[in-house]
Structure 1
Amino acid sequence: MRLDPDDSAKVATAIRAAEAGTDGEISTIVAPSSDSYTDIVLQWALIAGLFPLAISAAWPNLLLWTLAPLTGWEAPSLRLLLSLLVVKCIILFLIARFVIGLPAVRMALTPGGTKERRVRARALMLFRAGTEQRTLSKTGVLLYLSLAERRAEIVADAAIHAKAPQEVWGEAMTALVEAMRDNRPGDGMAAAVERIGAVLAQHFPYTGTDPNEMPDRLIEL
């Protein structure tokens, strides 16, 4: 899933239209992914690397059968048995590390809860760095989309959160998720921005006294 220049233009247009009716400010960020998930890759690779040990513990004769062509069917030494196990573990670990490191495989093997937590953490970090308390009235909202995880987050300044709890963003999230299912992330973000604007207009209507303090464009990381 990816966004093209037309998608960026759609989102920018939606931001300007939404902010025309509110003193609130909407920031939009899209990222290829929210984490490298290296720890997940290493966890699965370690499990694969330990697989020869589990097999040998369950069926020890299988290891002897593997060594038979090398030992002439004589009983192998303990050193040879252990060395073979170590080599098998290392080879399987390296193979698994490469295969699971492929983006599609890595994301497929990452638990949904892990993706959700890391997308949320990245959204909060970006919000605190670029949106939180960056407006005079403290009415900034961040719409964050992480493409690899196909997940999004909406984070709002304290002034907005006090009047519009997290539940009010349900329609915006639904619009975005439905468009993402059809591989239309740009349309989804534009629709979500429109609904965020409606919530802001209800609680923080346009007064003409609040300057435009955030960029009216889609930020791509």
Structure 2
Amino acid sequence: MSKIEDFLTTAQEQDIIKAIEVAENNTSGEIRVHIENKTDLPPKERALEVFHLLEMEKTELRNGVLFYVAVESKKFAILGDEGIHAKVTENFWDAEKELMLSYFKKEEFALGLVLAITEVGNKLKEFFPYHSNDSDELSNEISKG
């Protein structure tokens, strides 16, 4: 059994998907989670590769956010598209990274992701509010590699 399969239960995956759905009900931003076993790259660099593999740069407002986790490597990153970074500071995701790290250290991975996704949704709401004509541009399912 791979580390990915041990990382989250099916119920925990559903909790994360629900958190994405709730967050996206408040913002036009799009949130994805990608989990893989390991990476030899720095996590932000690998997250950028995955971001493009998932075609997250194709959102209309370029406001996608990727939560990337390499389970075996014990690395993670939060990466936002250029539409977000045109409006925010360099350290915009620091609080969410610290929040995730505090829960990951306690091996409460799902809770760390759910809480960070909720916070990201709240932050995105300020810059990318939800509009009635918004469509869900990216899948809310957790991708695995």
Q: Same fold (TM over 0.5)?
A: yes
Identify which of 29, 38, 61 aligns with 2:34. Answer: 29
- The Cα offsets for residues 66-105 of structure 1, whole Å up to 9 and x where unpaired, read as xxxxxxxxxxxxxxxxxxxxxxxxxxxxxxxxxxxxxxxx
Q: Helix, strand or coil: the match of 1:211?
A: coil
**Is the aligned partner of 1:195 residue 2:107?**
no
Displacement of 1:217 in angstroms is: 2.1
Please list, as runs of the form range in 1=range in 2, the aligned pairs for 1:45-194 lying within 5 A after superposition: 117-194=41-118
What is the Cα-based RMSD across aligned positions, in Å?
1.5
Question: 1 or 2, which has the higher strand percentage?
Answer: 2
Q: Helix, strand or coil: the match of 1:188?
A: helix
Count of residue pairs the alignment pairs up: 140
2:44–2:79 contact (8 Å) kept in structure 1: no
Q: Helix, strand or coil: the match of 2:27?
A: coil
Q: Helix, strand or coil: the match of 1:123?
A: helix
Runs of 4+ in 1 over 3 A off after TM superposition: none
Which residue of the partner structure matches residue 6 of structure 1? 11
2:51–2:57 contact (8 Å) kept in structure 1: no
1:177–1:188 contact (8 Å) kept in structure 2: yes
Which residue of the partner structure matches residue 86 of structure 1? none
Displacement of 1:183 in angstroms is: 0.8
Q: Helix, strand or coil: the match of 1:28?
A: strand
Larger Rg: 1
Question: 1 or 2, which has the higher helix percentage?
Answer: 1
**Inter-CA distance 131–165: structure 2 relative to 1 (3 Å threshold):** farther
Distance 1:146 1:120 in 2: 11
Displacement of 1:119 in angstroms is: 2.0
Displacement of 1:138 in angstroms is: 1.5
**Is the aligned partner of 1:205 residue 2:124?**
no
For 2:20, the aligned partner's letter is I
Q: Helix, strand or coil: the match of 2:91?
A: helix
Which residue of the partner structure matches residue 23 of structure 2? 18
- The Cα offsets for residues 134-174 of structure 1, whole Å up to 9 and x where unpaired, read as 21222111111111222211111111111123412112111
Q: Helix, strand or coil: the match of 1:120?
A: helix
Q: Helix, strand or coil: the match of 2:143?
A: strand
Percent identical among aligned pairs is: 25
